[in-house]
Amino acid sequence: MTHIVFNQMEEFAKENNVPIIQKDALDFILQFLKDKKVGVILEIGTAIGYSGAKLALATGAKLATVEINKELAKIAKENLKKLGVVCFVKNLDAKYFINQLVKNKNIFDLIFLDGPKAQYINYLPKLLQLLNKGGILIADNINFRNAVLGNQEIDKRYKTIVKRLQEFVKVIQTDNRLDTKIYKDIGDGVSVSIMK
């Protein structure tokens, strides 16, 4: 039953040009999480609920996820309900949602960062406050079109995104609270940081 729902979600994403996680990135992340104890997940950037559902079902964790697009948040809620995921979907700008979580002293075992790429660096300080000791921060698309860690020439309109992602990668690699590994050739680039 779940594979039917996921197939429908994949079809919907393709037809409606909604970005969902690339298969090799998802497979890598699920493999990485295989023996990890994850009770609560925070996802930034729900879209239609695809990756959040995959992560929650694979780990048996509860999911809190935020999506700024009202229509997508509604679709995500329906999809996650069909899949039986224990979750909380918030339709809000991620910045405000993260601030609320920090204020309420919420703590997460896994944070999956897949929202607006140019904001990763801005979200980071607060996200680290929400991460358990031993908690995992996974960011998707950190090699944005092979321009962040590769040498791909990129359209002028993406310059800011690339610059900010480069800054994000530098910070997660040099923050001594984190143990970070970068996988630039998996999907569109994936980073995995563990809170020491």
- Domain range annotation of the chain: 2-195
Q: What is the arithmetic mean of pLDDT over 8-15?
A: 97
Q: pLDDT tens digit string along 46-96?
A: 999 999 999 999 999 999 999 999 999 999 999 999 999 999 999 999 999
Radius of gyration of the chain (CA): 16
Q: How confident is the model at residue 114 (pLDDT cuts 50, 70, 90)?
A: very high
Q: What six digits make up the tokens of 45?
A: 């950037």
CATH of range 2-195; options 3.90.850.10, 3.40.50.150, 3.90.930.12, 3.30.470.20: 3.40.50.150
pLDDT at site 151: 75
Q: What's the rounded Cα separation, in Å, for the pair 72 and 12?
A: 11
pTM here? 0.96
Buried b (16+ CB within 10 A) or exposed e, 64-94: bbbbbeeebbebbbebbebbebebebbbeeb
Average pLDDT value over all residues in the chain: 96
pLDDT at site 28: 98
Q: What's the rounded Cα separation, in Å, for the pair 54 and 140?
A: 14
